[in-house]
Amino acid sequence: MTVVVKRDGKKEVFDERKIRRSIEAAARDAHLSNENARVLAVDASPNVIEYARNEEQIRTSTIRESLLNRLDTCAPHVSRAWRDFDRRNKGLS
């Protein structure tokens, strides 16, 4: 079982659905249809999910960066939307 360490230090059990939901939300922010957002989430998430599953513990920042790197390649407009959201709402760059 993989444990995710959040920015505030709290820990929770890894939930791959959160990865897909995050991609879908960024895709909708980038004006993709719900269907295209779901397809992108399914296509872009497997490598990151597999990597996380193989770790005993992983930081949310590691998951985020891995996903953004993947999206930079396959859907740059979605990674920009994600980063814009993070800048506006979380103070992240």
Residue 11: phi and psi, rounded to 5, are -125, 145
| Eight-state DSSP code of residue 93 | -
**CA quadruple 89, 3, 14, 82: dihedral, nearest 10:** 30
Contacts of 7 (CB under 8 A, 6+ apart): 60, 61
pLDDT, tens digit only, all 93 positions of the chain: 999 999 999 999 999 999 999 999 999 999 999 999 999 999 999 999 999 999 999 999 999 999 999 999 999 999 999 999 999 998 877
Contacts of 28 (CB under 8 A, 6+ apart): 34, 37
Quote the pLDDT of residue 90.
Answer: 86
Quote the pLDDT of residue 92.
Answer: 79
Quote the pLDDT of residue 52.
Answer: 95
